Amino acid sequence: MRGYDKQCENAFFALFRPYFDAEKDAAKQHDPANYSLARMEPLLALAGHPELRLRVVHVAGTKGKGSTCHFIANLLISAGRRVGLFTSPHLVTVRERFEIDGALLSYERLTAFGREFEGKVAAAGLEPSLFELFTVMAMALFVDEGVEYAVLETGIGGRLDATNVVSTPCCTVITPVSYDHMALLGNTIEAIAGEKAGIIKAGVPVVMGKQPYAAAAAVIRARAVALGCEVISPRALSSDERALLPTPCAPFLLDNFALALTALDCLGVVSSPTAFRLPELRARCEKISDEPLVLLDAAHNADSMEKLCAALLALYPGVHWTVVLGVVKGKDSKGMVQALRSLPAEYILTNPHTGKGSGLDELIGEAAQAGLTVRAVIRDLQSAAELPKDRPLLFTGSFFTALIGEQLFNP
């Protein structure tokens, strides 16, 4: 698999075994009692407060924040800036979370830095989550590597997310907000938008993407007005800018690219069309094979699944898909299944490859109720031989289901 070495990956994660629970256990990860910034201050102090020494672009949202972050980073790189990028989760290797100038950090660099920092954390008796550790590690690495800009993607929400420790970012970006992580963020779109808007800082411009819910846009604008922030909508792409992306292109990626370009306008940085390189957007409507046609997409809520289906209908008209669908426990299976009804497809339902728990049993019921054509239920999908031959395949419902496609067709 791309950039992956099993021995090196295991050696890196072995350093952080005591902190795995909050990352892998969905019940703990989504426990409001654990959702706090209280553990971040001592961690930052151990690292020498790297958050005070970075020029940060901070990105939150429900849909599209990962690809938007990648676009912002690569546009800055094209302008000759040195850029650190921190995103999550990863598809194949933990190295995907830590990029500098568009390249994954080496296992050697990550492991050496991680070993030193974890030693300090253990000696101080701190008990952070794995994501909190990685967030501080990323910022400290970026300072150590002399980056000019750090692009930080929130993990969950915004207000209490571990990345929300930067008091004065250069710019904040909020991508489309929809329903997800409701156990932590609230059951209404207004509550969820309020959590995302928690990254907004006084006087710092806010670039707000197209919002599928007017109520979300209203909450974000109200927060910005209260803090004296300008709210900027993404501008239209020029023909030259549109030419930087492939044709055809998923409509949601065009929106995210416009958002990224507008963020650069806020920074006063002019990108170079000749130096710009497309980022590798893993599991974002990503084609990894032509024969058979295999796509990976990490859509894991109703809104992202709806946008994926619209993209597929536009990009691959007339194609009848075999969709390998698996969702993590607690996700909106019903909403995703309803969105998928617009896609010409048959389905193979499975368990995502994750320790976070599977929503397969609920998914089976929702698929039956929605009238989806379920070809098979394969609880432990391990071989491409278990799938139809020479049929277009889509792996979706979770990053961890997209990973199955990667494992089977890009080993």
Each residue of 314-345: pLDDT tens digit? Answer: 999 999 999 999 999 999 999 999 999 999 99
Amino acid at 256: N
Residue 254, domain CATH: 3.40.1190.10
Q: Is 220 found in the same domain as 75?
A: yes
Is the pLDDT at 30 greater than 80? The verdict is: no
Q: Is 156 found in the same domain as 15?
A: yes
Lowest mean pLDDT among 20-29, 99-108, 234-243, 287-296: 20-29
**Confidence tier at 411 by pLDDT (50, 70, 90):** confident
- For residue 377, CA distances in Å to 262, 295, 383 come to 44, 20, 14
Angle at 251 between CA 247 and CA 252, to 5 degrees: 130
pLDDT for 32 equals 61
Using CA atoms, how far apart are residues 214 and 209, in angstroms rounded to an integer? 12
Other beta carbons less than 10 A from residue 396's beta carbon: 29
Q: Which of 219, 238, 267 is the last residue of a domain?
A: 267
Domain that holds residue 309: 286-409
pLDDT for 231 equals 98
Residue with the bigger pLDDT between 315 and 355: it is 315
Q: Is 248 found in the same domain as 389?
A: no
Per-residue pLDDT averaged across 112-133, rounded?
A: 96
Is the pLDDT at 401 greater than 50? The verdict is: yes
Tell me how far apart the 2 most distant CA atoms of the chain are, in Å.
60
**Confidence tier at 1 by pLDDT (50, 70, 90):** confident
- For residue 158, CA distances in Å to 40, 147, 193 come to 14, 23, 9
User: Are the C-beta atoms of residues 369 and 249 closer than 8 Å to each other?
Assistant: no
Q: Quote the percentage of the chain above a pLDDT of 90.
A: 92
Per-residue pLDDT averaged across 64-73, rounded?
A: 98
Q: Is 329 found in the same domain as 242?
A: no
Is the pLDDT at 195 greater than 90? The verdict is: yes
pLDDT for 26 equals 44
- Please report whether residue 1 resides in a domain: no
* 3 state DSSP class of 349: strand
Among candidates 205, 102, 213, which has minimal Cα distance to 149?
Answer: 102
Q: How many domains does the chain have?
A: 2
Q: Is 402 found in the same domain as 263?
A: no
pLDDT for 27 equals 45
Is the pLDDT at 34 greater than 90? The verdict is: no
Using CA atoms, how far apart are residues 106 and 86, in angstroms rounded to an integer? 14
Among candidates 286, 290, 294, 281, which has minimal Cα distance to 405?
Answer: 294
Other beta carbons less than 10 A from residue 291's beta carbon: 6
**Confidence tier at 21 by pLDDT (50, 70, 90):** low
- Please report whether residue 224 resides in a domain: yes
Is the pLDDT at 25 greater than 50? The verdict is: no
User: Are the C-beta atoms of residues 162 and 132 closer than 8 Å to each other?
Assistant: yes
**Confidence tier at 22 by pLDDT (50, 70, 90):** very low
